[in-house]
Amino acid sequence: MAAATMPSLPQVVSRRDRDGGLRHGLPVAPQERFLKTDEAAAPAKRLRTGGVGDVGPRAAVVMPEKKEKRLVLVLDLDHTLLHTTPALRLAPGEAYLLRRPPPPLGQRTLFDLRETHGILTKLRPFVRTFLREAGAMYDLRICTKGNSAYAHRMTRLLDPEGSHFSPGDIVAREDFREKDKKSLDVVPGGDERVVVILDDTVDVWENHLDNLVRVRPYGYFAFHGRPGEKSFAEARLDEEEAAGALAKSLDLLRRAHEMFLDLGAGGDVREVLRCLREKPELRAPRHCS
């Protein structure tokens, strides 16, 4: 991996959330400036057929038709599954994180990547349970505005065994056709009828809002926190596990999956999501009209 130097300091930008809430000013995330490495030089491979981005000989392979139409869950990384900050931006009250002996690898949720990338990354509480349980119902993809090197590194932190993601499941900003706009056109298997998107940011998905489930943004470090409030790290706290945002999202995804299966062949998950938005208490689509 190439030697890393600290990227230049981020700029503060403001974004308006289409849900009606004004998001606090978020600095440009370090992952959007993540340094190129050998890893980044390889474009995301498309290992499945059906994605618009299919390239190479595999794209010509005709796969046998699946008996059951599988749902696809497209996951954002930053502020959805994890939080990354430049190490140089740690608040004084967060410096203790660098002095603590790390727990055994399997139990680790905070990763000190200063030597290679100049960053620290904290996984969101409940994320591994979330991936395991969501992965049983959905085919999982990553779609991030971070670059390819960052996306692959973060995916390895989330899924060290490679149980949930293969390289072809990862879409990074080099794959985007339009700057700062995410699109299912470049997501393998990105058929709008079967895709649910989980992201903390709405405006990047303006062409696929019917597929979007917004999750409350996760911020662990002060750098992306709200002015005047202590970060989770400073307060030595964290988001709840079992009652946190990912657990709530998983509950909705379970219901969406169940309702989609009830629709049978030809079902469209956008209809299911519309139902769940309007009547979140529903358990079956037949009550939803």
Applying CB under 5 A, which residues contact Mg ion?
76, 78-79, 200-201
Q: In the β-sheet with 110-113, what is the strand arrangement from edge to edge? A: 82-86, 119-123, 110-113
Distance of closest approach, residue 142 Cβ to Mg ion, in angstroms: 11
Of 73 and 275, CB closest to Mg ion: 73
Question: Between the CA atoms of 28, 31, 36 and 42, what dihedral angle is there, to the nearest 10 degrees?
Answer: -130
Distance of closest approach, residue 180 Cβ to Mg ion, in angstroms: 12
d(CA 30, CA 110): 16
Q: Give the ranges where the chain is alpha helix by DSSP (H).
A: 38-41, 96-99, 114-117, 127-137, 148-158, 232-235, 245-263, 269-278
Distance of closest approach, residue 215 Cβ to Mg ion, in angstroms: 9
Distance of closest approach, residue 76 Cβ to Mg ion, in angstroms: 4
Local structure of 41: helix, strand or coil: helix
Number of neighbours of residue 9 by Cβ within 10 angstroms: 13
Number of neighbours of residue 241 by Cβ within 10 angstroms: 13
Distance of closest approach, residue 58 Cβ to Mg ion, in angstroms: 30
d(CA 144, CA 173): 7
